[in-house]
Each structure stands twice: as C-alpha cells, then as structure tokens.
C-alpha cells in the first residue's frame, strides 16, 4: 500500500485527509492518506520510521520551519520562505522539502480577484503569514504591513520577505494599528478577530482569511455586507493540496472533486455530523 499523510500538532481538525482521499478516489488510486499527531520533538523520529511505502507528507504547524534541517534537499521556494509544508519521497529514499503554500495562495487569490494589488496587510507573523506575504509579492504588492501581537516575533517573516526578488517594503506594527492596501489577509484565530479589528478592515477590497474552521470567521462574515471579495481558507487549502497531490502522485489533481469533498465535510462539521 502506498502511503501519504499530514503531520502536525494539533492535527485532529485537519481537512487534508478528506481532500487527498477524494483526489485518490477520483483518479482511481488505491492509496492511503491519514493524519498523524507529531510535534517538533518527534518529527525526526517519525521520518526515520517511514519505510519505502511512504510517498509524500503534508506539514502543518508547528513543523513547517522545523522540517528544513531534516530534508536532504530543499526547494528554492521553501528556502526563501524559511519553511516547507510538503515532503516528497525521492527514489533514493531521501526527502525533498517544498512549499506549496506560496503558489497555493497565489492561485486562491487570483481565482477570486483579478484586480491590481499594490498594497496589503497581513494579520499575524508566523509561517503561514510568510507564505502569503511572498504570494502577495508575486502578485505585485510593493507595500506590505504586518500587524502582529508582538512585533519582535515577526522577525523571521520580515527576513523571508526581503529574500523575494521583488521584495516589498514591510511595515511591522501591532494589531491595534490601521490596516493598509487593497487586501487584508488574516492568519490569526477567529477568536482574535474582535469587533474593532473587523471594523478597521472595512476599507479593503479583498479579505483573505486562511482559516477554514470555524467558518465563517468574524472577518469573513462581515465581508459580503461590505461588498468585499472573500477568499477563504478552503480556497488556499484546496489549491496547495492540489499541488501536493501532483507532486506525490505524478497525476494532475482533480481540483473540483477535492473542493467538493472539502465543502461537504465542512458543512457536515457545522451540523455536528462530520465523517
């Protein structure tokens, strides 16, 4: 049996198994894809125990930065981002680290919004904020504001953004500061999206919330009332998972089938009937 999976801690909420399994079913692959609770301390041991049946791994928090020293090779994009969400097993048994969050975020944004992007604000300063920030740079954003709880904790993200060939000018401030630009991206929990913060984001043309559960978040719920374009966490998850799927299997991902499976699962969770 060929095996893939997603690693992280916590991991029970992950929608990745639903998406990848739907993809396998759609293209006729009899593969396994499961969620495994693994923290930073246990990552090296988990990888060492993976036999030749393992083809690929998805990585979520807190492993995206911790995995880089454990991979035999690292893509230029993952190195620039300072984090990887994808491990692909090579024929010699080694692991190659890549980042599909960046192109996934580009695809998610451009699928929903075709306008010009010059300025943007990202709420949060972790690994996901880094990947989305690099995606915004890819899309032409030249002025980027990071709003974080503690500005000093955004140092790694700022460093990564300066490595982009078209590095945006970065301003770091606290979450109480005013968002700027055409798009606001939230990488913070729904519980941290208080009414004042939501109100300060009202002028953005686009709201991109990387969370997919619980949904809608306060920012997402307010977007339709303001005629803001809404990009959701499921959009990002599906696009980055599709890129992983292609790397793991060598087969083009059935994007529609994977998205439908994600939508159905989230609907089931909202009514307490998750599979």
Cβ atoms of 19 and 261 within 8 Å: the answer is yes
- Tokens describing residue 76: 């230029």
Tell me how far apart the alpha carbons of residues 59 and 128 are, in angstroms, rounded to a whole number.
12
Please list the alpha-helical segments (H only) found in the chain.
16-27, 40-48, 76-81, 101-112, 127-138, 155-162, 195-200, 218-222, 233-249, 255-270
Q: Which of 110, 80, 113, 115 is nearest to 97 (CA)?
A: 80
Place of tokens 């990848």: 20
Q: Which of 20, 21, 64, 200 is catalytic?
A: 64
**Catalytic site residue 153?**
no
Query: Which residues carry out catalysis?
Result: 64
């Amino acid at each position: 049996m060929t095996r893939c999976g997603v690693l992280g801690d916590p991991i029970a909420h992950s929608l990745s198994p639903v998406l990848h399994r739907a993809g396998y079913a759609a293209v006729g692959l009899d593969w396994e894809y499961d969620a495994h609770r693994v923290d930073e301390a246990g990552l090296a041991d988990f990888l060492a125990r993976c036999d030749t049946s393992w083809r690929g791994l998805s990585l979520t928090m807190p492993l995206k930065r911790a995995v880089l020293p454990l991979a035999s090779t690292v893509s230029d994009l993952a190195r620039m981002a300072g984090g990887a969400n994808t491990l692909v097993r090579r024929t010699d048994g080694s692991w190659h680290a890549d980042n599909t969050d960046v192109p996934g975020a580009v695809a998610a944004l451009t699928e929903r919004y075709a306008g010009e992007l010059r300025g943007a604000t990202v709420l949060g300063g972790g690994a996901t904020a880094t990947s989305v920030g690099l995606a915004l740079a890819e899309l032409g954003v030249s002025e980027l504001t990071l709003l974080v709880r503690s500005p000093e904790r955004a140092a790694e993200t700022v460093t990564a953004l300066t490595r982009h060939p078209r590095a945006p000018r970065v301003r770091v401030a606290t979450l109480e500061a005013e968002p700027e630009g055409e798009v606001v991206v939230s990488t913070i929990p729904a519980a941290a999206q208080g009414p004042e913060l939501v109100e300060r984001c009202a002028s953005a043309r686009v709201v991109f919330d990387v969370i997919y559960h619980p949904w809608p978040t306060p920012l997402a719920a307010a977007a339709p009332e303001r005629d803001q374009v809404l990009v959701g966490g499921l959009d990002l998850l599906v696009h980055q998972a599709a890129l992983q799927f292609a790397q793991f299997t060598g087969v083009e991902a059935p994007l529609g089938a994977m998205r439908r499976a994600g939508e159905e699962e989230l609907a089931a969770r909202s009514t307490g009937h998750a599979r």
